[in-house]
Amino acid sequence: MNFDDTPQEAAFRAEARAWIQANAPKQYEEELRKSSLGRTVLKGANILEVAKAWQKKKADAGWACLHWPKEYGGRGASPIERVIWQQEEGPFGKLSAMFIIGHGMCGPTMMAFAGEEQKRKYLPPLASGEKIWCQLFSEPAGGSDVAGLRTRAERRGDDWIINGQKIWTSGAHYSDYGILLTRTDPTVPKHKGLTMFFLDMKSPGVEVRPIKQASGQSDFNEVYFTDVKIPDSQRLGAVNDGWNVSLTTLMNERMSIGAGVATGFPELFEFCNSLMLEDGPAIEDRNVRSRLANYAVKASGLRYTSMRAISALSKGERPGPENSIGKLVAGSMVQEVAMYALDLQGAAGVLSGPEDAEVAGKFQAMLLRAPGTRVEGGTDEIMRNIIAERVLGLPGDIRVDKDVPFNQIPTKGRG
Amino acid sequence: MNFDFSDEQKQMRDEARKFLAEKCPSKAVREVLDGKAPYDKELWKGLAEMGFLGVAIPEEFGGAGAGHLELCVIAEEMGRANAPVPFSSTVYLAAEALLLAGSDAQKRKWLPKIASGEAIGTLALFEGKGNPSPKAIKLQASGGTLSGVKKPVPDGAIADFAVVAARTGSTGRDADISLFLVDLKAGGVEAKPLTNIDPTRGQAELTFKNAKAEPLGATGEGWSILTQVLDRAAVLLAFEQVGGSDRALEMGRDYALDRIAFGRPIGSFQAVKHMLADMYVSATLARSNCYYGAWALSTNAAELPEAAAAARISATQAFQHCSKNNIQVHGGMGFTWEFDCHMYYRRANATALTLGSLSYWEDQLIDRMRRKNAA
Q: Which domains does chain B have, with CATH numbers?
A: 7-89+107-114 (1.10.540.10), 122-220 (2.40.110.10), 223-374 (1.20.140.10)
Kindly identify which residue of chain B lies nearest to residue A298, measuring between CA atoms.
Answer: B285
A146 and A228 housed in the same domain: yes
A138 and A93 housed in the same domain: no
DSSP string across B132-199: S-GGG---EEETTEEEEEEEEEETTTT-SEEEEEEE---SSSGGGEEEEEEETTSSSEEEEEE--S-T
A176, pLDDT greater than 50:
yes
What's the one-letter identity of residue B70?
E
A251, pLDDT greater than 60:
yes
- Chain B residues touching residue A317 (CB < 8 angstroms): none
Q: How confident is the model at residue A254 (pLDDT cuts 50, 70, 90)?
A: low
A293 and A373 housed in the same domain: yes
- Interface contact A293-B366, CB threshold 8 A: yes
Kindly identify which residue of chain B lies nearest to residue A315, measuring between CA atoms.
Answer: B2
Residue percentage of chain A with pLDDT more than 70: 97
- Interface contact A397-B264, CB threshold 8 A: no
**How far is Cα A345 from Cα A260, in angstroms, rounded to an integer?**
28
Q: Lowest mean pLDDT: which of A73-87, A327-341, B183-197?
A: A73-87
B310 near B297, Cβ under 8 Å?
Answer: no
- CA A342 and chain centroid, separation: 27
- Interface contact A305-B288, CB threshold 8 A: yes
- Interface contact B264-A269, CB threshold 8 A: no
Note the maximum CA span of chain A.
76
Q: Lowest mean pLDDT: which of A232-246, A311-325, B114-128?
A: A311-325
Q: How many domains does chain A have?
A: 3
Q: CA Rg, chain B, in Å?
A: 20
CATH number of the domain residue A86 falls in: 1.10.540.10
Question: What residue numbers bound the domain in which A293 lies?
Answer: 257-378
**How far is Cα A374 from Cα A376, in angstroms, rounded to an integer?**
6
Backbone φ and ψ for A117, nearest 5 degrees, come out as -65, -40
Whether A400 maps to a domain, the answer reads no
Q: Lowest mean pLDDT: which of A239-248, A304-313, B63-72?
A: A304-313
Q: How confident is the model at residue A258 (pLDDT cuts 50, 70, 90)?
A: very low
Residue range A115-142, pLDDT digits in tens: 999 999 999 999 999 999 999 999 998 8
| Mean pLDDT calculated for residue range B65-89 | 98
A232 and A280 housed in the same domain: no
Residue range B122-167, pLDDT digits in tens: 999 999 999 999 999 999 999 999 999 999 999 999 999 999 999 9
pTM above 0.80, yes or no: yes
Kindly identify which residue of chain B lies nearest to residue A8, measuring between CA atoms.
Answer: B1
- Interface contact A387-B280, CB threshold 8 A: yes
| Mean pLDDT calculated for residue range A24-29 | 95
Whether A111 maps to a domain, the answer reads yes
A158 and A67 housed in the same domain: no
Q: Average model confidence (pLDDT) for chain A? A: 92
Whether A192 maps to a domain, the answer reads yes
CATH number of the domain residue A222 falls in: 2.40.110.10
Q: Which of A242, A226, A209 is nearest to A164 (CA)?
A: A226
A118 and A140 housed in the same domain: no
A88 and A158 housed in the same domain: no
- Interface contact A394-B280, CB threshold 8 A: no
CATH number of the domain residue A332 falls in: 1.20.140.10
Whether A327 maps to a domain, the answer reads yes
Q: Which of B246, B193, B206, B237 is nearest to B39 (CA)?
A: B193
Instruction: Check residues A354 and B261 and name the one with the higher pLDDT.
Output: B261
A116 and A175 housed in the same domain: no
Residue range B14-40, pLDDT digits in tens: 999 999 999 999 999 999 999 999 999
A205 and A231 housed in the same domain: yes
What pLDDT, on a 0 to 100 scale, did the predictor assign at position B183?
98
Q: Give the closest-approach CA distance of A192 to chain B in angstroms.
A: 24
User: B119 — contact with chain A (CB < 8 Å)?
Assistant: no
- Interface contact A301-B369, CB threshold 8 A: no
Whether A194 maps to a domain, the answer reads yes
DSSP string across A230-243: EEGGGEESSTT-HH
**How far is Cα B234 from Cα B88, in angstroms, rounded to an integer?**
10
Kindly identify which residue of chain A lies nearest to residue B310, measuring between CA atoms.
Answer: A297
Q: What is the DSSP letter of A259?
A: S
Phi-psi region of B293 (alpha: psi -120 to 50; beta: other; left: phi over 0): alpha
Instruction: Check residues A1 and B271 and name the one with the higher pLDDT.
Output: B271
Q: Give the closest-approach CA distance of A386 to chain B in angstroms.
A: 9
Domain boundary among A87, A103, A127: A127
A145 and A80 housed in the same domain: no
Q: How confident is the model at residue B208 (pLDDT cuts 50, 70, 90)?
A: very high
User: B256 — contact with chain A (CB < 8 Å)?
Assistant: yes
Whether A402 maps to a domain, the answer reads no
B237 near B175, Cβ under 8 Å?
Answer: no
Kindly identify which residue of chain B lies nearest to residue A299, measuring between CA atoms.
Answer: B285
**How far is Cα B285 from Cα B301, in angstroms, rounded to an integer?**
21
User: B261 — contact with chain A (CB < 8 Å)?
Assistant: no
Whether A306 maps to a domain, the answer reads yes
A336, pLDDT greater than 90:
yes
Whether A394 maps to a domain, the answer reads no
What pLDDT, on a 0 to 100 scale, did the predictor assign at position B259?
98
Which residues contact residue A309 at a Cβ distance below 8 angstroms, ignoring those fewer than 6 apart?
A257, A319, A322, A323
A110 and A181 housed in the same domain: no
Residue percentage of chain B with pLDDT more than 70: 100
Q: Average model confidence (pLDDT) for chain B? A: 97
Which residues contact residue A148 at a Cβ distance below 8 angstroms, ignoring those fewer than 6 apart?
A139, A141, A142, A190, A401, A409
Residue range A371-395, pLDDT digits in tens: 999 998 889 999 999 999 999 999 9
- Chain B residues touching residue A301 (CB < 8 angstroms): 284-286, 288-289, 310, 314
Q: How confident is the model at residue A219 (pLDDT cuts 50, 70, 90)?
A: confident
Domain boundary among A85, A103, A127: A127
User: Which of B5, B6, B257 is the closest to A394 by Cβ?
Assistant: B257
User: Which of B256, B285, B291 is the closest to A298 by Cβ?
Assistant: B285
A217 and A287 housed in the same domain: no
Domain boundary among A84, A99, A127: A127
**ipTM, 2 dp:** 0.96
User: Which of B278, B317, B369 is the closest to A296 by Cβ?
Assistant: B369
